[in-house]
Amino acid sequence: MVIIIIAIGSFYAIPNLFGEDHAVQVVANRGAEVTVSTQSRVNELLAEKGISIKRSEFENGQLLVRVQDADQQLLAKEVIAESLGDKYTVALNLAPATPEWLESVGGSPMKLGLDLRGGVHFLMEVDMGEAIRKMEEAKVADYRSQLREEKIRYAGIRRGATGIEIKFRNAETLAKAENFLKRRSNDMVLTDRSDGPRYLLVATMSEAYLKQVKEEALQQNITTIRNRVNELGVAEPVVQRQGAERIIVELPGVQDTTRAKKILSATASIEFHMVDQKADVASAVNGRVPAGSKLYQRREGGPVVLKSAVMLTGDHITGAQPSFDEYSRPQVSINLDAKGGNIFSNVTKDNIGKPMATLFIEYKDSGERDAEGKVKLKKIEEVISVATIQARLGRNFVINGLDHAEAQSLALLLRAGALIAPVYIVEERTIGPSLGKENIENGLQAMIWGMAVVLLFMMFYYRGFGVIANLALSANLIMVVGVMSMIPGAVLTLPGIAGMVLTVGMAVDGNVLIYERIREELRAGRSIQQAIHEGYGNAFSTIADANITTFMTALILFAVGTGAVKGFAVTLMIGIATSMFTAIVGTRAIVNGLWGGKRMKKLSI
């Protein structure tokens, strides 16, 4: 059992010996596509420039070209970016150099944290004002439908400066509406602000509901950003909240901040609106837009007037896949949740034969800042498709009017989820690979010297048993590396290396307790076999108590800690588990193999 477990740990630790290749990654932007022909073009281009390619890989619509060193990596990036143009994002990357046969059986190196591998760190802030605005617009639509269902006539509903304003023609209708809306929901505070002949009911968010909206906006954005980073293939990202409105994003190994910003600024979402068929487009272009409608531009060119009322937002989308219709034209197949399906079914049943538009919304950095120093976001809206509703739609439907690359890009963004509110970067840090390399070298030096001192002490002080303890320590270190490599979510950080050094000390502590107990038993007149048996048996409870309490402390650190603290806790927990195995079971197996059942007068301890 000991041999098999150590062999498995050693096997999965092997990929860490191969290091990483300098690589260039090519990803298509909207309107473009990375294909096999792109791969051939890039390979030929690099060969012409005398750049040696170690391996060229095309997978999941992305191209990864491995080169010999950092100088060739920089040159390859410049050459590829100049040739392909703005339609592609060309980024520097580091790719594991694990052989393909080892990868095929699940072998992969440890994931290194930002402080060891280098990468980018972003502190992002959620635009809570936009989240509140979107929620108030949703409430406006809800109030319209609820009052119509109850047959309560109103003169108008809109978002005002202080909340949602609902106008009525008389006090009786206002009172009836107020009683009805209060019964339906306690999220909003209703206030009668009538003034003379003006009958006005204002709905504002309660403090509890406002707090809930902000919390949900932050949590959904965290989930969305994490999904998008995972979808786009960034290895082992860190996405976590900081305070009430901010999100920390760390992308280890990403050296190109432009590429990282592109991933994180993908704040696209969609809305469905009915086309205002009664509107005169020419008059709207000249500024005379009908009330309750708005002028937009089509992606392919040309204006279109849509009704302001939102039929459905992207928040209800649960799935999105690119596909083709019966004429082989690209489209995106959409799946909605139950609530979204009911909403869409109700709004489309009354509009069969009428045109419906899909509005694509994006927020981009305008380059300007407000009085508080916050980035001003520019809202970009364009109509990507206009289609006639042929039948009542439910939870499954398609969006057409896109090319193949756009269909894939939109499906990816929708599948990962829409940001409930825009985010902008308030802090950006780039940690170069050279600093990470220096951290690794310093950490390894500390581990090597610490291990060397322990090994020498054990060998000279405990003689033969010290050599056995040293074998167990070496096996323990290999197993820690192997387990860290096997666990998908485990990331080694600089404090994690400190955790490995601490594990070495704790592992030898277990052997010291056992060996000292054996010495005590020998001094008490026990035979060698009895002393060994009693030494391992009696020391076990002490070792277990010490390690379990330390493990529980590490577990608490992992639960409440973030970043480097969590990395330290993960390494420590794995080290405790492996050290107990090697110090107790591993050394006992060797001792039994060497001295078990033999009559001896002297023990090398």
Mean pLDDT for 219-241 is 70
Biggest CA-to-CA distance, the chain: 111
Give the count of beta carbons closer than 10 Å to the beta carbon of residue 171.
11
Q: Residue 552: its pLDDT value, please?
A: 93
The answer to whether residues 384 and 399 touch, using CB atoms and an 8 Å cutoff, is: yes
CATH topology of domain 432-595: Multidrug efflux transporter AcrB transmembrane fold (1.20.1640)
Q: Which residue has the higher pLDDT, 171 or 599?
A: 171
Q: Residue 562: its pLDDT value, please?
A: 66
Rounded Cα distance between 424 and 447, Å, is 40
Q: Residue 70: its pLDDT value, please?
A: 79
Is residue 236 over pLDDT 60? no
**Residue 403 three-state SS:** coil
pLDDT digits (tens, 9 = 90+) for 355-405: 888 888 776 666 677 776 666 667 778 887 787 887 777 778 777 766 776
The answer to whether residues 25 and 57 touch, using CB atoms and an 8 Å cutoff, is: no
Rounded Cα distance between 394 and 62, Å, is 34
Rounded Cα distance between 547 and 584, Å, is 12
Rounded Cα distance between 348 and 553, Å, is 57
Q: Residue 11: its pLDDT value, please?
A: 92
Beta strand ranges found along 280-422 (DSSP E): 293-297, 303-307, 312-313, 317-324, 330-336, 355-369, 375-388, 396-399
Beta bridge partners of 357: 273, 386
Q: 109: Cβ–Cβ under 8 A, 6 or more apart, which residues? A: 15, 16, 18, 20, 96, 98, 485
Is residue 422 over pLDDT 70? yes
CATH topology of domain 20-96: Alpha-Beta Plaits (3.30.70)
pLDDT digits (tens, 9 = 90+) for 534-555: 888 888 888 888 889 999 999 9
The answer to whether residues 185 and 203 touch, using CB atoms and an 8 Å cutoff, is: no
Alpha helices, DSSP H only, in 252-399? 257-264, 281-285, 338-349
Question: Using the 8-state DSSP alphabet, how is residue 79 labeled?
Answer: H
Q: Which residue type occupies 377?
A: L
pLDDT digits (tens, 9 = 90+) for 120-166: 888 888 888 888 887 888 788 788 888 888 888 888 888 888 888 88
pLDDT digits (tens, 9 = 90+) for 105-125: 888 888 777 777 777 888 888
Rounded Cα distance between 407 and 334, Å, is 11
pLDDT digits (tens, 9 = 90+) for 267-317: 567 788 889 988 888 888 888 888 888 899 887 778 999 988 888 877 777
Rounded Cα distance between 219 and 245, Å, is 10
DSSP string, 544-604: HHHHHHHHHHHHHHHHH--THHHHHHHHHHHHHHHHHIIIIIIHHHHHHHHHTT---S---
Q: Residue 20: its pLDDT value, please?
A: 80
The answer to whether residues 356 and 271 touch, using CB atoms and an 8 Å cutoff, is: no
Q: Residue 418: its pLDDT value, please?
A: 59
Question: Is 0.85 surpassed by the pTM of this model?
Answer: no
DSSP string, 449-510: HHHHHHHHHHHHHHHHHHHHHHHHHHHHHHHHHHHHHHSTT-EE-HHHHHHHHHHHHHHHHH
The answer to whether residues 511 and 458 touch, using CB atoms and an 8 Å cutoff, is: yes
The answer to whether residues 250 and 85 touch, using CB atoms and an 8 Å cutoff, is: no
- Averaged confidence pLDDT in the chain: 82
pLDDT digits (tens, 9 = 90+) for 570-579: 888 999 999 8
**Residue 366 three-state SS:** strand
pLDDT bin (cut points 50, 70, 90) of residue 4 is: very high
pLDDT digits (tens, 9 = 90+) for 460-476: 998 889 899 999 999 99
Q: Residue 556: its pLDDT value, please?
A: 92
Write the CA distances from 147 to 150, 171, 308, 351, integer angstroms. Answer: 5, 16, 19, 20
Tokens describing residue 185: 């929901």
| CATH class in words for 265-429 | alpha beta
85 Rama sector, left if φ>0, alpha if ψ -120 to 50, beta otherwise: left
Tokens describing residue 75: 């040159």
